[in-house]
Structure 1
């Protein structure tokens, strides 16, 4: 007979700021150094409880990418984007990965970030959102 293992994931998940739906594990963070129009953004290997919108080409600071917005399944908020295709060879590592905008999520410790008044309002590679 199999054993049931209960894992306490408290303090290890990112969740939607609006409805607290779980979105990603801390173990799936690839980079915390991305930026978007509203401030910081994180790159993840895997996100859950999202729906993916239509893919389109967007010019970013690191070149042309085909991306699709991602939405929280709990409340429908746009929370980031997924890289479908990176057209620059040096950016191929992003393909299949997702970006969550930091101000739209709660951190693993329950913290959230607000939009900075100094946030860049242009397009940076993490500005696709």
Structure 2
């Protein structure tokens, strides 16, 4: 399993359920605030549904479920067919639910969607 250095210089997202490392903050390309979604270029420690019969179609785009490798919690999806690519919405990108992620900001762990500190 991939892990990032938990230092002041490295900021990253974690699974909210099991705290498995998911993506560096520089992989976050765009945030859809009204839906608490993030569009990511790359992720780590994610299982992507490989069976095309289980893929979902929305707005002419096809997406595969993407789950945490460690706890199997569904975190979002990976775009597998995008006929109308834009700068952010492209094949291979991940759309993740920020409410299901935490954020290491270099000094503390925060809820990814609100940026408020997690109380342990």
By the TM > 0.5 criterion, same fold?
yes
Cα deviation, 1:66-113, whole Å, max 9, x if unaligned, reads 110101011000001000111225478421110110100002332115
Q: Distance in 2 between matches of 1:92 and 1:16?
A: 22
- Find out whether 1:112 has 2:114 as its counterpart: no
Cα–Cα, structure 1 residues 92 and 113, in superposed 2: closer, same or farther, change >3 Å? Answer: closer
Q: Which residue of 1 aligns with 2:97?
A: 101
Q: TM-score, normalised by structure 2?
A: 0.73
Q: Which residue of 2 aligns with 1:78?
A: 74
Q: Which residue of 1 aligns with 2:25?
A: 26
Runs of 4 or more consecutive aligned structure 1 residues displaced over 4 Å after TM superposition: 89-93
Superposition RMSD on alpha carbons, in Å? 2.5
Number of aligned positions between the proteins: 103
- Find out whether 1:51 has 2:43 as its counterpart: no
1:68 counterpart (57, 64, 88): 64
CA contact (8 A) 1:34 1:43 kept: no
Between structure 1 and structure 2, the one with the greater Rg is: 1
CA contact (8 A) 2:45 2:70 kept: yes
